[in-house]
């Protein structure tokens, strides 16, 4: 593909015609823009029906009151098909050409999401969720099941031999599993060389519970399990300490900034400039349905608002600008999920 002013394209056209290739020229009007696809680095496909609902509770209560109740419904594969087709079509309509999806706890439903992204041609990382504790009894797996089914899921996705979809190991968060299970997942990550996605330091009560459960800082919990790799995307990261940020930087792990969700669930404000100062790669996530919109443009607006609000309390703080958030929504996200090679140079 060649992109440029009409006159400059003549040379590329002549070259392609000389090579007897088909040439299609699209001339944009003054009101059109050609931009790279957006990357949503954190979205929960099964939570789509709850978009915009249930923001009267903070994270841990919201999970129990609304989220697990909805996610349990995905034993019903017809329901899964309906919602997953809708979420893929909707995110594509919003310009999201790559998405990092938390799929379902259930492997069959997760494979339906794989079929939906293949049907509509979206690039995606799709993870079967791992969760053995801190949820209703009929919505957890045993430690044996969670590992066995994750291995099966990775192999099923890989057997489709499709360049657009990759499995991603998805421990829900440090409170959903015991250390032994996380260590086994870390071993799977190594064995299959797969990406990892999870949540980190989103809410102050969550951080306290993780610290008391493991006697370690949050990032060190994942590190002990071998889950902090250069192909790991960690959602939120609001309350990470300087030591934890140094650790993420050393491991090359990335952060998905989800400002809309951080406001809706009253989690807090993530300082993206601080993450950058530690050399950490950052992309944007809608975090549906913690976030109320499946649109990355909406996440860009929220990222600007959060950064401007942070600047009110800090002298000489330079808030993110439009270019910064456009970067987060495109190349920043692509770097998070290690897909920079699939990005056109228009982004740069």
Residues forming the site for ligand GUN (CB under 6 A): 44, 59, 63, 67, 172-173, 199, 202, 261, 287, 290
How does DSSP assign 52-95, residue by residue?
T--TTS-HHHHIIIIIHHHHGGGGSHHHHHHHHHHHHHHHHHTT
- The CA–CA distances, whole Å, from 280 to 119, 226, 233, 300 equal 34, 18, 11, 19
C-beta of 224: minimal distance to ligand GUN in Å?
Answer: 19
For 69, the token pair is 């109740």
Output 128 or 172, the one with its CB closest to ligand GUN.
172
C-beta of 22: minimal distance to ligand GUN in Å?
Answer: 46
Output 59 or 337, the one with its CB closest to ligand GUN.
59
- The neighbour count for residue 53, using CB atoms within 10 Å, is 13
Output 265 or 325, the one with its CB closest to ligand GUN.
265
C-beta of 263: minimal distance to ligand GUN in Å?
Answer: 12
Tell me the residue nearest to ligand GUN as measured from the CB.
290
C-beta of 29: minimal distance to ligand GUN in Å?
Answer: 40
Output 167 or 171, the one with its CB closest to ligand GUN.
171
C-beta of 262: minimal distance to ligand GUN in Å?
Answer: 9
Residue 41 contacts residue 336 (beta carbons within 8 Å)? yes
Rg, C-alpha atoms of the chain: 20
> Measured at the alpha carbon of residue 76, what is the angle toward residues 138 and 59, in degrees to the nearest 5?
55
Output 270 or 331, the one with its CB closest to ligand GUN.
270
Q: Tokens 């600007």 label which residue?
A: 304
96 bridge partner residues: 38
**Sign of the four-CA dihedral 326, 328, 330, 332:** positive
C-beta of 130: minimal distance to ligand GUN in Å?
Answer: 11
Which helix (H) or strand (E) element contains residue 204?
A: helix 204-214
d(CA 47, CA 292): 10
C-beta of 68: minimal distance to ligand GUN in Å?
Answer: 9
Q: Which residues contact 205 (CB under 8 A, 6 or more apart)?
A: 58, 59, 60
Output 91 or 326, the one with its CB closest to ligand GUN.
91
Output 173 or 222, the one with its CB closest to ligand GUN.
173
């Amino acid at each position: 593909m060649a992109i440029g002013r009409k006159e400059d394209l003549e040379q590329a056209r002549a070259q392609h015609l000389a090579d007897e290739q088909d040439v299609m020229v699209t001339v944009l009007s003054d009101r059109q823009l050609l931009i790279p696809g957006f990357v949503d680095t954190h979205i929960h496909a099964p939570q789509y029906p709850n978009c915009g609902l249930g923001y009267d509770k903070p994270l841990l209560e919201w999970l129990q009151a609304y989220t697990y109740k909805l996610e349990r419904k995905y034993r019903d594969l017809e329901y899964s098909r309906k919602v997953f087709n809708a979420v893929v079509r909707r995110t594509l309509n919003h310009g999201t050409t790559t998405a990092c999806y938390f799929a379902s706890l259930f492997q069959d439903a997760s494979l339906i999401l794989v079929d939906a992204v293949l049907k509509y041609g979206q690039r995606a990382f799709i993870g079967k969720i791992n969760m053995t504790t801190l949820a209703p009894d009929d919505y957890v797996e045993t430690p044996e099941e969670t590992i066995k089914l994750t291995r099966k899921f990775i192999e099923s996705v890989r057997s489709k031999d499709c360049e657009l979809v990759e499995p991603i190991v998805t421990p829900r968060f440090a409170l959903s599993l015991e250390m032994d299970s996380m260590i086994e997942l870390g071993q799977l990550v190594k064995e299959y060389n797969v990406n990892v996605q999870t949540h980190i330091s989103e809410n102050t009560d969550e951080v306290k519970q993780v610290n008391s459960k493991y006697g370690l800082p949050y990032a060190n919990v994942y590190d002990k399990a071998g889950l902090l790799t250069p192909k790991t995307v960690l959602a939120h990261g609001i309350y990470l300490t300087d030591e934890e940020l140094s650790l993420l930087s050393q491991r090359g792990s990335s952060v998905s900034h989800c400002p809309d969700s951080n406001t809706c669930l009253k989690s807090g404000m993530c300082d993206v400039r601080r993450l950058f100062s530690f050399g950490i790669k950052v992309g944007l996530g809608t975090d549906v349905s913690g976030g109320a919109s499946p649109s990355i443009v909406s996440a860009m607006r929220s990222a600007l608002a959060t950064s401007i609000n942070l600047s009110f309390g800090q002298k000489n703080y330079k808030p993110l600008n439009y270019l910064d958030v456009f970067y987060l929504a495109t190349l920043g996200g692509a770097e998070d999920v290690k897909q920079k090679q699939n990005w056109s140079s228009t982004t740069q």
